[in-house]
Structure 1
Amino acid sequence: MKDNDTKRLSRLTAILTQLQTKRLITAPSLANKFNVSVRTIYRDIKALEQAGVPILTEDGKGYALMEGYKIPPVMFSESQANALILAEQLVLKNKDTSLIKDYTEAIDKIKAVLGQSEKDKANLLADRTRFEQNINRERNSDNISQLQYALTNFYLTKIDYTNEQNQTTSRTIEPFALISTNENWLLIAWCGLRKEFRYFRLDRILRYENSD
């Protein structure tokens, strides 16, 4: 096989993975990712269609795979996918570019086998999770998975929370984003008690209960 053919086969496989990772993706974004022309991407998409891949074209928006088309047989639960997304954010803080590249490509393949709903939730979680530089620290929270689930499913969560003055209040919150700081995990959430967005330290949440 010629070198150009090998590169194209590799690119076609990578394009298929990208299509399975995102709900919609544009030709210019694919061209930029693979450092080829938009016309080349058009030809690649046509080649995938001729190979039987059910690609849908939405005018002015981009390409999408037909619902239900995915690579078998690996399947992940939502909590497992969330844990992997969390690990991805940690890896992105690493300064080794090869590790970042390999792990990002691995995560793309994992996202590719998720159902559309789980895929959207995984991308939402990735957008709303941030880390500071990983310095030696201890965290005592044990509720990240439940709060991830509440965040991606837009659930309200009832919590008992102790503040810096050691006062405990019960409140209903809507989780919005997770942040890892040098000291601890923080949850950004809309607080029904204070009627505004607030920061909550996860190790100060004494009780939590997700509701619709």
Structure 2
Amino acid sequence: MNKTDRLLAIVLELQRSGTLRAEDLAATFETSQRTIYRDIQALSEAGVPIVGSTGIGYSLMEGYFLPPLSFTIEEAVALLIGTDFVETKFDSRYRATANTSQAKIEAILPDKVLDEVRRIRGITKVADPNEIGISRMEKEFLVQLRQAILQMTKVEFRYAKKSRFGEDVEPTRRRVAPYGLILINGYWVLIAACELRDAIRHFRLSRISDLHETGEIYEVPAEFNLKDYSPVDDRHLLIRVHTNLRLAEQIKESNNFYLEDIQVEERGLIVTFRVRQIEDILHWVLSWGSDVVVLEPDQLRQRVREELENMLKRY
């Protein structure tokens, strides 16, 4: 990043974050603190009202904002594709906001840039192979949950899930402190502290019903950060199967969440999965028919035999 770009980026970072120390800025822009000191001086001499406090950091004078910025073609395309995504994946309120945002962005683009942006958007499409559609009820839940998260109020709902053997079980009543919402493989998922399980749990919105706020206030733990959050990986069961070499590309392209490793041998492929339970991989194995042979564990081999026997009884 050259000096001019870095100076602009520093102002944007201060405008976004409020107060930052020299060492924070140095880490962000991968430069030395001495360079940051020189940059701050250059900005001050250029008329940018930066306030520095010893031991606290730098901030912009209250009320100061950068004038409207011009966008490059690439920046405009990124923003407009982002509005397309919001329009299809969020609730009605944000769909409307996406439309108005798109209109505002297009309104400030020079004609030459706008023509090129429209041409690129016309030949570009973001497609989700796992697209399943979001129901009207889920979109309503998005509104309720987003409001509860912003107000930090607990919610209650009924939650339906599958048993270890893939069967429906009786929904349970949950009371949770909602921490955030994540879109995973086309599904909206609520991350929340569940009172029933006394731990952070994930709840797919498509399995939620009878949702309402309780009015009870909660506090998010200081150590929790949704951006950095990742669930504990509890996939401890190793599965190994043998298959034909001709299926290599198909298996890779299947993008199976549990796929761990593929080894090519003379007799074929040895594919390793890491799962939580046998049922996580059972249907995948059965879908390949005789092209896939389970090597281990014996528990999975037995479950495959049982399923095949049950199928034979039906025919």
* TM-score, normalising length: structure 2: 0.39
Instruction: Please point out which of 130, 134, 142 is paired with 1:136.
Output: 130
CA separation of 1:63 and 1:145: change in aligned 2, threshold 3 A: farther
Q: Structure 1 pair 193/146, CA: closer, same or farther in 2 (3 Å)?
A: same
Taking structure 1 as reference, are residues 23 and 150 closer, same or farther at Cα in structure 2, changes over 3 Å only? farther
The verdict on how the C-alpha distance between 1:32 and 1:188 changes in structure 2, with shifts beyond 3 A counting, is closer
SS in 2 for 1:148: helix
Which residue is equivalent to 1:110? none
Q: Aligned equivalents of 1:182 and 1:176: distance in 2? A: 20
Matched, 1:159 2:164: no
RMSD between superposed Cα atoms in Å:
3.5
Q: Does 2:177 match 1:174?
A: yes
Per the alignment, residue 39 of structure 2 pairs with 44
Instruction: Specify the alignment match of 1:23 in structure 2.
Output: 18
Seq. identity, %: 40
- Would the alpha carbon gap of residues 8 and 183 (structure 1) be closer, same or farther in structure 2, given more than 3 Å must change? closer
Structure 2 distance, partners of 1:181, 1:10, is 34
CA distance in structure 2 between the aligned counterparts of 1:172 and 1:12, rounded to whole angstroms:
48
CA distance in 1 between counterparts of 2:68 and 2:151 reads 25
AA at the equivalent of 1:44: D
Q: Which has the larger radius of gyration?
A: 2
Match of 2:59 among 40, 51, 64: 64
Shift in Å, 1:35: 4.9
SS of corresponding position for 2:52: strand
2:198 is equivalent to residue 195 of structure 1: yes
Letter in 2 for 1:177: G
Deviations 1:34-93 (A, max 9, x none): 45432222122123334443433343443223444334689xxxxxxxxx9xx59x9xxx
1:79-109 deviations in Å (ceiling 9; x for gaps):
xxxxx9xx59x9xxxxxxxxxxxxxxxxxxx
Which amino acid in the other structure matches residue 203 of structure 2? F
Amino acid in the other structure paired with 1:154: M
**C-alpha displacement at 1:200, in angstroms?**
1.0
Please say if residues 158 and 208 of structure 2, whose CA atoms lie closer than 8 Å, have aligned partners that are also in contact: yes
Post-superposition Cα deviations, 1:166-206, rounded to whole Å, max 9, x if no partner, equal 53344331112333333633222112344332221111122
1:190–1:196 CA contact under 8 A, matched in 2: yes
- Gapped regions of structure 1 (runs ≥ 5): 1-6, 75-83, 91-133
**Alignment check: 8 A CA contact 2:130 2:186 kept:** no
CA pair 201-22 structure 1, distance change in 2 beyond 3 A: same
Paired with 2:147 and 2:64, the residues of 1 have a C-alpha distance of 25
CA contact (8 A) 1:179 1:187 kept: yes
After superposition, the Cα gap between the structure-2 partners of 1:155 and 1:57, relative to the gap in structure 1 and judged at 3 Å, is farther
1:39/1:203 CA distance change after superposition, 3 Å: same
Aligned to 2:265: none
Give 3-state SS (helix, strand or coil) of 1:200's partner: strand
- In structure 2, relative to structure 1, the CA distance for the partners of 1:145 and 1:44 (3 Å cut) is farther
Q: Is the 8 A contact 1:139 1:185 kept in 2?
A: no
Q: Decide which of 32, 50, 62 is 1:55's aligned counterpart.
A: 50
Partner Cα distance (1:159, 1:50) in 2: 57
C-alpha separation between the residues in 2 aligned to 1:206 and 1:193? 17
